[in-house]
Chains A and B, each alone.
Chain A
Amino acid sequence: MIKDPRTGMTLIVKTITRLTVGLILLFGIYIILHGHISPGGGFAGGVIVALSFVHMMLAFGKDIAASKISTNLASNLESIGALMFLAVALLGFLGGTFFLNVLAKGTPFTLFSSGTIIFSNISIGIKVGVGLFAIFLALVILEKSKQEDNS
């Protein structure tokens, strides 16, 4: 199935991947943004975003995927996502309490409703997406360096 970790799979897989990977990414972002209206939310959407990267990496090999987003950038983005969530939590102190939902609630059933919930979803989405991708990248890099050690 996997011919060579450097170059990835066959042409058929690569062509299909080129078509679908953007859609998967978009779907993940949709799920993240609509977490307060429909099922899903930051976590599920974040995993879908991570899966779109994993998909690309499986099809094209490690190098191309890593050129789009490196381990360093991934772990930095993850920390930023985590800090953003903490910042949303601290925003509550504006109203006097940790985690208070201070922003206007808006009208239900629209995208810009429910105060801080949407920002929480976005920051969790960023965090989870790049975090899980970073795990996968680290595992692949480990295997690759091992193969180089052996040869």
Chain B
Amino acid sequence: MKPANIIPLFVIVPLAAAFLISLLGKYVRRFSSAAISLSSVLLLALSLYSCVLLKSAPAKVLVYKVGGWIPPFGICMVLDGLTAFMLVTVNLVAFFVAIYSLAYMNKYTDKPKFFTLFSLMVCGMNGLIITGDLFNLFVFLEIASIASYALVAFGTEAEELEASFKYAIMGSVASAFIFLGIAFLYGFTSTLNMADMAAVLNNKPNLWLLPFVSVLFLMGFGLKAALVPFHAWLPDAHPSAPASISAMLSGVLIKALGVYALVRIFFNIIGVTHTFLTILMFLGALSMVAAVILALSQWDFKRLLAYHSISQIGYIFLGIGLGTPLGILGGLFHLFNHSLFKSLLFLNSGAIDYAVGTRDLREMGGLNKVMPVTAGTSLVASLSIAGIPPFNGFFSKLIIIIACIQKGYLGYGLCAVIASILTLASFMKVQKYAFFGQLKGGFTNIKEVPWQMKFSMLCLAIMCIAGGVMLLPFLKPFLKDAVNVLVEGTRYAEIVMREVVR
């Protein structure tokens, strides 16, 4: 058994879970819960094991040839530093959200369908992250997107259906742009393998093609990632979904489908130019500031969180757009941290909704007396997202700001600081209205949520507190390998092809 043989399991396990749940979930009681727990544990273990595996690999990259066909003739899967990093992020959040959903989804009918779609969404994200083939990336992107369209409408209330329709239309247009971009690239290079394509593009001069394709991809993946000019769907879609799905959407989906795919294609295939990085930084800074200002006036807890997601995506793009190793490190670290604290915040909002039955901040108040776990974890998450020192959000924001200053972009650094202060203000409001103050009369007999929900929230909170250890020497290679993949740029082609031949 070669070590690379574990790579296809990232797709097989969630797929098998999805098919089995949809077949047996109706007949066998608790089958869906058992299957989803088992598959998420397995995926988490596999993703952690893949990091260990990668450490011992000589070139820090493993290639799996699906069907035994040598790339570029067949499809290959590539496991490198960035892939392993994203896999850990996705599967970690998916694990906690799955545990949380076991109890939370009692509010809705037809649990097996929910878990089937959930599993398919995880499968889509894992497949997208691990693939080394451009069209395959598109296929898995569509799996994850379609599952998320259906999940947003899972409650089948009017508001949810509308949000889902809007999201589905925007998402499909984005997919059309991406498909058109792939078609142009195929016509020009006559290959679909990412490494091969990068090699061909390096040696083939062109004037208009790459800028045009870049714009197509920027529109497509920008829509999926909800960068500011393309963000209109997110504040509707994310609050409408069930809370556990909001956590997945804001926590990892926009990052896997948007940030990861964009970064992988631009850095490793097309190759970044100075103009592109400038555009990325500008859009990042714009998202950061504009979304946080919009968030300040929100009273719906989940809608407020959705605007903050756009703002934090801005931080990630600002960091990556700097293009320096330190900036990319900050961006990726912030991606990891944001997926932890934003999913935690959405899970908190779901817990409040579960116990109290409202999402409006003005109707809450004094909940820390009846829901201590929810209140405590949400305080941790709020402080993390606002960038208060011992928590993980502080470190990643600090790295991004230092990287800005190092490269001489003082204006962008200032933007980041201002956005951070505004975020703090916004979450002070949340804490004040939801958890502190006088307990309202009707709320005295509210109970804390079931243990599955508490378990997930507590674990995520602990990871938020301890997030800073990621920068310690013995864990840093995990981030450093991911950064190296991006810093290498289009040398990706060489690295992968050398591994293929071996």
Contact = CB atoms under 8 A, between A and B. Distances in A.
Q: Is there a contact between chains A and B in the complex with CB atoms less than 8 Å apart?
A: yes
Given A86-B12, A86-B16, A90-B12, A98 B22 contact: no
Contacts of B176: none
B66 A99 contact: yes
Contacts of A83: 16, 19-20, 23
Given A75-B22, A80-B23, A83-B23, A97 B66 contact: yes
A40 interface: no
A95 B23 contact: no
B130 to A, nearest CB: 12
Contacts of A7: none
Nearest to B113: A75
A98 B15 CA distance: 14
Contacts of A80: 23
A83 B20 CA distance: 8
Nearest to B64: A98
Nearest to A96: B68
A79 B65 contact: no
B67 interface: yes
B41 to A, nearest CB: 20
A96 to B, nearest CB: 8
A10 interface: no
Interface residues of B, number: 14
B8 interface: yes
A113 interface: no
Interface residues of A, number: 19
A79 to B, nearest CB: 4
A43 to B, nearest CB: 14
Contacts of A90: 12
Nearest to A79: B23
A138 to B, nearest CB: 12
Contacts of B22: 75, 78-79
A98 B67 contact: yes
B157 to A, nearest CB: 16
B67 A86 contact: no
B67 A97 contact: yes
Nearest to A77: B23
Nearest to B2: A96
A98 B19 contact: no
A65 interface: no
Contacts of B15: 86
Contacts of B67: 92, 97-101
A77 B19 CA distance: 11
Contacts of B8: 98
Interface string A87-125: 001101001111111000000000000000000000000
Interface in A60-92: 72, 75-76, 78-80, 82-83, 86, 89-90, 92
Interface in A119-138: none
12 contacts: A72-B26, A75-B22, A79-B20, A82-B19, A86-B16, A86-B19, A92-B67, A96-B68, A97-B67, A98-B12, A98-B66, A99-B66
Interface of A: 72, 75-76, 78-80, 82-83, 86, 89-90, 92, 95-101
Interface of B: 8, 12, 15-16, 19-20, 22-23, 26, 64-68
Given A82-B19, A99-B67, 15 more contacts: A76-B23, A79-B20, A79-B22, A83-B16, A83-B19, A83-B20, A86-B15, A86-B16, A86-B19, A96-B68, A97-B67, A98-B66, A98-B67, A100-B68, A101-B67
